[in-house]
Amino acid sequence: MPAGLPLQPVGELNRIDGLIGTPAVSVGYGLNWAKTFGTRPTAELGPMTDLGGGNGVKRIAEVGPITHLFDNALLPRQDVRKGDNTVCFGDSGSSLFLVRDGSVEPVIAAVLSGATNWCQGSKDPYYRVDRPEAHSFVQCVIEHQDDPAAACRACSAERYFGLCE
């Protein structure tokens, strides 16, 4: 793999004792403009200028402990009342890191899918990167990184819909 933060090894999250309850941190650029609860977000969060953001600064959100572990995903608590200390629109793809022994591990555990309609809700899944499929996808993209169209044709689901050209 190229320089950068490593992914959790295949199957690693299943081997971590006490994963449920482990604190987690997510990094993103998003902006919440439609909270259901809590106060409005801090002005200028993230690059989404059409939604009132615009400084391009990464947000680091302490999203709470891991509450659920599934075969392909995990869920942190994500209390909607935590204001800016959560993830939201524009944060899809954000890396999730585990906090162990009081320190953030420099290994990506999962990525935010943004699959729900409830911004900053407790059901926003992070997809596990310790799955063989995730490792295969990342390796395929790396192998084709100099040709995005080839990467699309070789690695993505978009190829099935003819969307790679």
Residue 101 region by backbone torsions, left for phi larger than 0, else alpha for psi between -120 and 50, else beta:
left
Tell me the pLDDT tens digit for each residue of 111-150.
987 655 445 455 678 899 999 999 999 899 999 999 999 9
- Give how far the C-alpha of residue 134 lies from the chain's centroid of Cα atoms, to the nearest Å: 13
Q: Which of the four pLDDT bands, split at 50, 70 and 90, describes residue 63?
A: confident
- Mean pLDDT of the residues in the chain: 77
Rounded Cα distance between 52 and 48, Å, is 7
Q: Which residue has the higher pLDDT, 27 or 150?
A: 150
**CATH number of the domain located at residue range(s) 12-130 in this protein:** 2.40.10.10
Lowest mean pLDDT among 21-35, 38-52, 133-147: 38-52
pLDDT of residue 83: 57
Q: Is 43 helix (H, G, I), strand (E, B) or coil?
A: coil
Q: In angstroms, how far apart are the furthest CA atoms of the chain?
A: 47
Q: Which of the four pLDDT bands, split at 50, 70 and 90, describes residue 27?
A: confident
Domain ranges of the chain: 12-130, 131-165
Number of H helices, E strands in the chain: 3, 7
b/e sequence 106-129, b meaning 16+ C-beta within 10 Å: ebbbbbbebeeeebbbbebbbbbb
Rounded Cα distance between 25 and 56, Å, is 19
pLDDT of residue 115: 53
Tell me the pLDDT tens digit for each residue of 66-100.
999 999 999 888 766 665 566 766 677 788 999 99
Rounded Cα distance between 37 and 45, Å, is 18
pLDDT of residue 119: 52
Residue 155 has pLDDT above 60, yes or no: yes
- Record the pTM: 0.75
Task: Give the residue among 20, 19, 27, 21 at the shortest CA–CA distance from 106.
Answer: 27
Q: Which residue has the higher pLDDT, 31 or 26?
A: 26
Residue 32 has pLDDT above 50, yes or no: no
